[in-house]
Amino acid sequence: MRRIRSIVTMLGALPFIGGMSPVFGAPACADLENKKPELRLEYLQGQKSLLDRNCVLYAIEQLGNDHYAPAIKTLAGYLDYRKPDPPNFGSPTQPLIRGHSEWSGSIYPAGTALAQIGKPAIPQLVEVIAAASTSDLVRNTAGDVVFAIYRENPADGIAVLVEAAHKRSDPMDSLRVMDQARRQAGRCTQQGRNDCENAVLK
Amino acid sequence: MTVTTAANTPPGVYTINVSGTIPGQNPVSTNVSLTVSSTPGAPVTITNSPSSSTFWVDGVAYAGNASFVPQSGGDTLTVTQTQPPPTGRGDHYQFSPDGGVTTQAAEVPPPGQPGGNGCPWTCSNGSCGSRVPVGPPQPAPRIQNVTDASGDNPAVLYPGVPVQITVNGSNFGGATGYLNFCRPGGSPCDFTSNGGLSSRIISWNPYQIVATVTLPTDAPTGGWLVYVSAMFWISGTDWLNPSMGNMNVTIPPQVSGPIGVALNGSASFAVTITPGNMDPVTVTLSTTSGTGSATFADGTTSQTIYESQSLTVMGKVVSSTANNITISTSIGGNPFGSAQFSVVSVTISLNATQGGQPAGDDSAKGVWLPTVLSGGPLGAQININAGGVTRCAIGVELVGTVTPSNYSGTITLQRNFLGGTGYIGSGSPTNFPAQPDNSNIEFEVTTPSAAGHVYDLDAPNINPNTLVSRARYNFQEYALLGVPADPPNNPPQVGSGFPYYARMSCGTDVNGNPVFNNAVNGDNQAGGGVTLLTWNLQ
Here the CATH number for the domain that contains residue B276 is: 2.60.40.10
Asked if B438 and A2 come within 8 Å (Cβ–Cβ), the reply is yes
Return the pLDDT at A74: 97
Q: Note whether residue B523 is domain-resident.
A: yes
Return the pLDDT at B491: 92
Q: Note whether residue A132 is domain-resident.
A: no
- List the domain range (segments joined by +) for residue B291: 254-341
Q: Note whether residue B476 is domain-resident.
A: yes
Task: Decide if B506 touches A, using CB distance below 8 A.
Answer: no
| Whether residue B66 is found in the same domain as residue B149 | no
Between A74-88, A134-148, B35-49, B220-234, the lowest mean confidence (pLDDT) is in: B35-49
The 3-state secondary structure of B7-34 reads EECCCEEEEEEEEECCCCCCCEEEEEEE
Best B357, B363, B365, B367 member to test A by mutation, with max A CBs in 10 Å, is B367
Return the pLDDT at B79: 38
Return the pLDDT at B161: 82
Task: Decide if B385 touches A, using CB distance below 8 A.
Answer: yes
Q: How buried is B222 (Cβ within 10 angstroms: 0-12 exposed, 13-18 middle, 19+ buried)?
A: exposed
Residue B441 reports pLDDT greater than 60: yes
More confident residue, A21 or B465: B465
Which of A11, A97, A144 has its CB closest to that of B424?
A: A11
Best B416, B463, B465, B476 member to test A by mutation, with max A CBs in 10 Å, is B463
Which of A98, A105, A148 has its CB closest to that of B462?
A: A98
Task: Decide if B473 touches A, using CB distance below 8 A.
Answer: yes
Best A33, A100, A138 member to test B by mutation, with max B CBs in 10 Å, is A100
| Whether residue B453 is found in the same domain as residue B385 | yes
In chain B, which among 442-471 make CB contacts under 8 A with chain A? 442-443, 457-467, 469, 471
Return the pLDDT at B5: 40
Q: Note whether residue B160 is domain-resident.
A: yes
- Total residues found in chain A within this entry: 202
Nearest CA in chain A to B483: A65
Order of all β-strands in the sheet with B222-229: B155-157, B245-249, B222-229, B178-182
- List the domain range (segments joined by +) for residue A98: 7-117
Return the pLDDT at A153: 86
The backbone region for A121, taken as left when phi is positive above 0, alpha when psi lies in -120 to 50, beta otherwise, is alpha
Residue B58 reports pLDDT greater than 80: no
Crossing angle of helices A171-185 and A154-167, rounded to 10° = 170
Q: How buried is B399 (Cβ within 10 angstroms: 0-12 exposed, 13-18 middle, 19+ buried)?
A: buried
Question: Per residue in B28-47, pLDDT tens?
Answer: 555 444 544 444 434 455 55
| Whether residue B365 is found in the same domain as residue B502 | yes
The domain boundary residue, chosen from B102, B131, B160: B131
Asked if A99 and B461 come within 8 Å (Cβ–Cβ), the reply is yes
C-alpha–C-alpha distance, residues B200 and B204, integer Å = 11
Asked if B465 and A14 come within 8 Å (Cβ–Cβ), the reply is yes
Q: Note whether residue A29 is domain-resident.
A: yes
Q: Note whether residue B468 is domain-resident.
A: yes
Best A40, A60, A98, A101 member to test B by mutation, with max B CBs in 10 Å, is A101
Return the pLDDT at A93: 67
Mean pLDDT computed over B51-73: 49
Return the pLDDT at B252: 85
Q: Note whether residue A86 is domain-resident.
A: yes
Between A37-46, B17-26, B494-503, the lowest mean confidence (pLDDT) is in: B17-26
Q: Note whether residue B309 is domain-resident.
A: yes
Asked if A2 and B364 come within 8 Å (Cβ–Cβ), the reply is no
ipTM entry? 0.76
Q: Note whether residue A49 is domain-resident.
A: yes
| Whether residue B224 is found in the same domain as residue B259 | no
Contact B128, B121 (CB under 8 A): yes
Q: Note whether residue B270 is domain-resident.
A: yes
- Contact pairs from chain A to chain B, CB under 8 Å: 163
Asked if A101 and B368 come within 8 Å (Cβ–Cβ), the reply is yes
Cα B410 from chain centre = 22
Mean pLDDT computed over A148-155: 89
Residue B26 reports pLDDT greater than 70: no
Average pLDDT of chain B, as a whole number = 81
Residue B488 pLDDT level (bands cut at 50, 70, 90): confident
Residue B250 reports pLDDT greater than 80: yes
Between A143-147, B37-41, B60-64, the lowest mean confidence (pLDDT) is in: B37-41
C-alpha–C-alpha distance, residues B9 and B36, integer Å = 7
Q: Which of B346, B344, B348 is nearest to B476 (CA)?
A: B348
Return the pLDDT at B132: 53
Task: Decide if B417 touches A, using CB distance below 8 A.
Answer: yes
Asked if B442 and A3 come within 8 Å (Cβ–Cβ), the reply is no
Nearest CA in chain B to A23: B437
Across B109-123, B264-278, B381-395, B519-533, the highest mean pLDDT is recorded for: B519-533
| Whether residue B386 is found in the same domain as residue B448 | yes
Q: Which residues in A lie closer than 8 A to residue B365 (C-beta atoms)?
A: 151, 189
CA–CA min distance A143, chain B (Å): 12
C-alpha–C-alpha distance, residues A170 and A21, integer Å = 36
Residue A97 pLDDT level (bands cut at 50, 70, 90): confident
CA–CA min distance A24, chain B (Å): 10
Mean pLDDT computed over A150-163: 92
Task: Decide if B430 touches A, using CB distance below 8 A.
Answer: yes
Which of B368, B391, B508 has its CB closest to that of A99?
A: B391
Asked if A18 and B389 come within 8 Å (Cβ–Cβ), the reply is yes
Between B66-70, B255-259, B316-320, B345-349, the lowest mean confidence (pLDDT) is in: B66-70
Residue B83 pLDDT level (bands cut at 50, 70, 90): very low
Return the pLDDT at B78: 39
Report the number of distinct structural domains present in chain B.
4
Residue B22 reports pLDDT greater than 80: no
| Whether residue B504 is found in the same domain as residue B374 | yes
Residue B389 pLDDT level (bands cut at 50, 70, 90): confident
Q: Note whether residue A12 is domain-resident.
A: yes
Return the pLDDT at B350: 97
Average pLDDT of chain A, as a whole number = 83
Amino acid at B76: T
Question: Per residue in B451-475, pLDDT tens?
Answer: 999 999 999 999 898 899 999 999 9
| Whether residue B392 is found in the same domain as residue B507 | yes
Asked if A100 and B435 come within 8 Å (Cβ–Cβ), the reply is no
The backbone region for B387, taken as left when phi is positive above 0, alpha when psi lies in -120 to 50, beta otherwise, is alpha
Mean pLDDT computed over B321-347: 92
Nearest CA in chain B to A20: B389
CA–CA min distance B507, chain A (Å): 11
Mean pLDDT computed over A140-161: 93
More confident residue, B480 or B38: B480
Question: H helices of B267-394, where?
Answer: 365-368
Question: Per residue in B502-514, pLDDT tens?
Answer: 999 999 988 889 9
Q: Note whether residue A187 is domain-resident.
A: no
Tell me the backbone φ, ψ of residue B105, rounded to 5 degrees.
-130, 140
| Whether residue B374 is found in the same domain as residue B312 | no
Q: Note whether residue B137 is domain-resident.
A: no
Report the number of distinct structural domains present in chain A.
1
More confident residue, B308 or B67: B308
| Whether residue B181 is found in the same domain as residue B245 | yes
Q: Note whether residue B535 is domain-resident.
A: no
Question: Per residue in B178-211, pLDDT tens?
Answer: 899 999 988 788 888 888 898 899 999 999 999 9
Asked if B370 and A5 come within 8 Å (Cβ–Cβ), the reply is no
Task: Decide if B428 touches A, using CB distance below 8 A.
Answer: yes
Q: Note whether residue A199 is domain-resident.
A: no
CA–CA min distance B505, chain A (Å): 12
Residue B295 reports pLDDT greater than 50: yes
Task: Decide if B439 touches A, using CB distance below 8 A.
Answer: yes
Q: Note whether residue A79 is domain-resident.
A: yes
Between A76-90, B177-191, B289-303, B486-500, the lowest mean confidence (pLDDT) is in: A76-90
| Whether residue B393 is found in the same domain as residue B412 | yes
Mean pLDDT computed over B369-380: 92
